[in-house]
Structure 1
Amino acid sequence: MTNAPTTHETPAPTADKATRPGEPTRFADATDGVKLAIYEYGDSDRPTVLFVHGYPDDHSVWEPVIALTAGDFHVVTYDVRGTGASGQPAKRGGYAMSQLRDDLATVISLTSPDSPVHLVAHDWGSIQSWAAVSDSAFANKLASFTSVSGPGLDMAGAWLRRGHRHPRKFARQLVDSWYIVAFQLPFLPELLVRRGVVEKMVSRSENIGVPTDRQIPSGRRSRRDAINGIGLYRANFRHLLTPRPTRAVCPVQVLAPTDDAHVTVPLGLEAPKPFVDRLCTHAIPGNHWVVEQNPTLITTLVTEFISTITQQDEDSR
């Protein structure tokens, strides 16, 4: 599925980086030549947990969770193409789901070549990860998958097609997803980013339910990343219109924040059910950015799920 990844090494990761994320550990060349910035923490002899971020974040959204997990796992994360220290493709097709899936394979092959990884992803990181989780080529690469606020597009499209069975849920999700359609327009989304409108929208959604004295100010994300990330929506919209969902190749845990302004709980919890054999679901307190705001909750649920899956697999042998 992918060519052997090319790497450009920087000093090997050490355990004390677990609470001091900094420069990339190394870079890998994606199959189309885009450079991917990879970050590693903890003991590489331990089971690998791979975190994938969403839009319009970079890998740093996972820093609070990394600080809690790197003592027990080999932790890996990376800047998705077009964000952070990673390069960006020249054309829209560079953000297609197939390429994002290949990027994930490249990172896994480089950082955990001999053992499957526990994949944990948020928002668009989760959306693109579903493409791998539903691909038989990843059957030996993935031990488990925890999805936070990011349903697979094909699964979501199938769920939306069944909207007549749940009209109120369907209508609510359409209202919450208005920006997906807006991002298909030429020029306007980029203009909204440059005018700060998208960042203000993100700021409002990440402060839902947050006390006034703890709210996070807008303007902390990169406008370059936000503009590049629009390509994710444009290159992959067709998956919602003509969904072709396939079955998951590993156990899946879905976490659906109850105050998520972008993904409703019904969509998050119901869409995967027909396509996952070993599925664990939780509606959890928090908004769309719960991974950053409540890292203890996310860490607890992820580690418990990994422990349960590991024990079940051992018992079945």
Structure 2
Amino acid sequence: MPPTDATAHAANAAIDTGADTSPGTAESSAAEGSDSEDTLDLRLPDELIALFAAEADTGEARSDAPRAAPTLLTAPALTAPAFVTASALFATADDDLLDRVADWGPTVTPSGVFQLVPVQVERDLPLINRWMNDPAVAEFWELAGPRDMTERHLRAQLSGDGRSVPCLGVLEGTPMSYWEIYRADLDPLARHVPLRPHDTGIHLLIGEVADRGRKLGSTLLRAVADLALNKRPACARVIAEPDLRNTPSVAAFLSAGFRFSAEVDLPAKRAALMIRDRSLRNLL
């Protein structure tokens, strides 16, 4: 699970220590006990291979020859460029596991225009590291320390497969919060909580002390949860798991339209499982 609620003393949220949540830690399990004899062995017929070889030796096929309809088994599929094309035929929106967070764009909130901007380490590391060393943040994120500690946490996500995207929260043009938008169903959290395909998780910390204690957390949590539901049609729920001790954070989620689902024992904490349902978003 990613970090806990960083805003322990303000009604804002962040989630668990990053120890368990780097993008590469979630397991994609294969069925146990399978053996190689169950593998499907696909092989082109010898006659077809010989035909391709003959065409390669004689150069281009005659221009007046009838063209086969494009399929994965036509001759170009044996060449490198065609191999890329064939792979592209299988590409889906799922290739980007979070539907391009960078393109979610701005949203208008009661506190101003807000936007998630994916982190660039070289640009954002000093600011995020300063926030991580704030005692109110460090109590739950447990990432206080030198810059290289924060950098490792960020790069673990940025170098992964895209199941977690670290972002700055920019309000009226000013970076003021740190977010992690992640595929909860692909996270280690799924080992402990029943999750559904495409459940989207949120971790948040409010970075600046002046922004805490004025209900910004609730405002921004609602805005980002609604962004996720708007921009990810396959996502039916937005998930969070603040530390149960962090009463202001749990209250912020409740005010943002999340419902309390359960208490969950996680490796680093006892958490409140908070859920914002697409089906209930207009009621809460």
Q: TM-score normalized by structure 2?
A: 0.32
Comparing both structures, which one devotes a greater share of its residues to helix? 1
Q: TM-score normalized by structure 1?
A: 0.29
Q: Which has the higher contact order (CA 8 A, sep 6+)?
A: 2
